Amino acid sequence: MLPVVSKIVGHVKGIVGGFFLLVIGLVVLLGLTLGFAACGAWMGYEGGRLLADYVRARHWVEVAAHIEAVDLACSCDGDGCAARAICTYRYAFDGREYQGKRVGLSRGADNIDSWQKATYTRLKQAFEEGRPVTCFVDPAQPTRAVLDRQLRYPLLVFQTAFALVFGLVGLSFTIVCLLGVILDEPRERRLKKAYPNQPWKHKPDWAAGILPSRLRRRAAWLWFVTIYWFLVSLPTTVFLPTGLRQPDKLWAVGGAVYLLIGTILLMVAIRWRSLARRFDASRLELETNPAEVGGDFRARLVLAGDVASLERVSITLRSRHHLSQGEESDVKRTLWEQTTEFEVPRSRCDPGEVALPVHFQIPATCRPTDESSYRDRVTWHLTVKACSSRTKLKLKFEVPVIEAAGEPTSEGAVGPSDKVYLRPSG
């Protein structure tokens, strides 16, 4: 995720230019992500308050109430009409008379289900017939009462979905942006100063020539998403039986889907944790750094860890063109790829490590790495797939490929290419 932030920051720099405008761009970016997180947090708070009121109201005392006025308030916009049942009623408790206005546990208007209109119809009929209705009073604070204390499971499912999507997206991008600004930017500034004419070395991994597997980081990120998902969706799972008892059981399917997605996330997180524990030390050591179009790509793939469980290794070098058009999704087109396979040479390797030579001949017609525009870019990746009867390991490394070097210099050495398409970090 951190490379994404570097690209976003670099794109902002290229558009606005200047330190102060860059700060403004970062503030706007963080403001949007924090806005998403705030919306998710607000919906999570509303769902939590709904549940808290439901738990408290289960112990309230049942008394009779007489309706004084009832109405249905509607507000319409482009997304439809939201309704809210309004009622004023009187009730007696411990010899004293009180007036109440709270109808249900939820607050405000909504159009999630038919509860508002159905409740209004029921109360209006009782008002016209002069019948008393049941209300529930808090014995510790008799001024607090409600006419309907049932848990609106559809509303809980909706609030959970809102908190999951907006909260997870906003929180994730906020963390990524902060880590990118705090960690990536200082390192890239140092590398730019050290290698002003070699922009492919502005990325820390490329500058070092050693690309780590990052399995542990991926596993940690998956566990973060999984834990967040279970924490937010826990109420819909716990009260799923309540949803099944309500008239509109379709919303209960939503609660079951949350549980299913959480279970799948948990299984994937456990698998990635296992892979990280067994193969996190794996890496790609670049020998041609950077590789050139029309030349050789040479590297050393080191698989470290439980290599005894691996049987075959497939290595693919792939060039892809990424094109974003307007609001459409990113279109990926493979420009060139080549695959080679290995049998894991057990007798030749150390007990916990095996090194495989990687060699590809890059055609002269290929395009080099081009990140000058985030909407129209070319990337090169080396994908490793290692498998056996009980293990499936996949590693992906982004590698630098530049334009072929220019004509020989007067001293006979080959000079650097004038066409380097990697976007500078500053």
The domain that holds 348 is classified in CATH as: 2.60.40.640
If asked whether residues 243 and 343 sit together in one domain, one would say no
- Domain finish residue from 148, 168, 187: 148
Report helix, strand or coil for 262. helix
The pLDDT score that the predictor gives to residue 19 is: 47
User: How would residue 365 be classed by pLDDT, with cut points 50, 70 and 90?
Assistant: very high
Report the run of H or E that residue 342 belongs to, with start and end.
strand 331-343
Which domain, by its residues, includes 7? 2-43+156-279
Q: How confident is the model at residue 228 (pLDDT cuts 50, 70, 90)?
A: confident
* Model confidence at 141: pLDDT above 80: yes
User: Widest CA span of the chain, in angstroms?
Assistant: 107
* Residues 22 and 165 placed together within one structural domain of the fold: yes
What per-residue confidence (pLDDT) applies to 217? 87
Last residue of a domain, one of 148, 173, 200: 148
Q: Are 166 and 39 in contact (CB under 8 A)?
A: yes
Domain co-membership, 304 together with 213: no
Domain boundary among 279, 304, 337: 279
For position 419, what pLDDT does the model report? 33
User: Do residues 77 and 141 share a domain?
Assistant: yes
Residue 55 lies in a domain: no
119 in a domain, yes or no? yes
Are residues 290 and 391 located together in one domain of the fold? yes
Mean pLDDT of 305-314: 84
**pLDDT, tens digit, 9 for 90 and up, residues 215-225:** 998 898 889 88
> Is residue 48 situated within a structural domain?
no
Give 262 or 17, the one with higher predicted confidence: 262
The pLDDT-based confidence of 426 (bands split at 50, 70, 90) is: very low
184 with 119, same domain: the answer is no
Residue 307 lies in a domain: yes
Report pLDDT for 208.
Answer: 86
Give yes or no: residues 73 and 171 share one domain.
no
* pLDDT for res 183: 62
30 and 69 co-located in one domain: no
Instruction: Name the band, by pLDDT with cuts 50, 70 and 90, for residue 35.
Output: confident
Does some domain include residue 304? yes
Rounded mean pLDDT, 153-174: 80
Residue 9 CA: distances (Å) to CA of 1, 204, 217, 421: 13, 16, 21, 17
Q: What is the H or E stretch that residue 9 is in?
A: helix 2-16
Average pLDDT over residues 122-150: 94
pLDDT of res. 242: 72
In one-letter notation, the amino acid at residue 367 is R
Residue 25 lies in a domain: yes
Does residue 70 register a pLDDT over 90?
Answer: yes
Residue keyed to tokens 């109201």: 57
| Residue 256 sits in the same domain as residue 289 | no
Weakest-pLDDT range from 279-293, 319-333, 370-384, 401-415? 401-415
Average pLDDT over every residue of 109-125: 89
- Pair 137, 166 in one domain: no
Residue 198 predicted with pLDDT over 70: yes
Q: What is the pLDDT of residue 327?
A: 52
Predicted confidence (pLDDT) at residue 409 exceeds the cutoff of 60:
no
Inform me whether the pLDDT recorded for 202 exceeds 80: no
Number of domains in the chain: 3
Say if residue 141 is in the same domain as residue 208. Answer: no
Are 162 and 273 part of one and the same domain? yes
Burial 181-213 (b: 16+ CB within 10 A, else e): beebbeebeebbeeeeebbbbbbbbbbeebbbb
pLDDT score, position 102 = 94
Q: What integer pLDDT is reported at residue 178 of this predicted model?
A: 63
Of the ranges 9-13, 115-119, 248-252, 326-330, which is most confident? 115-119
Q: Is the pLDDT of residue 52 over 60?
A: yes
pLDDT at 321 over 50: yes
- Is residue 425 in some structural domain? no
Rounded to two decimals, what is the model's pTM? Answer: 0.65
Predicted pLDDT of residue 408: 35
Residue 408 domain-assigned? no
The better pLDDT of the pair 172, 311 is held by 311
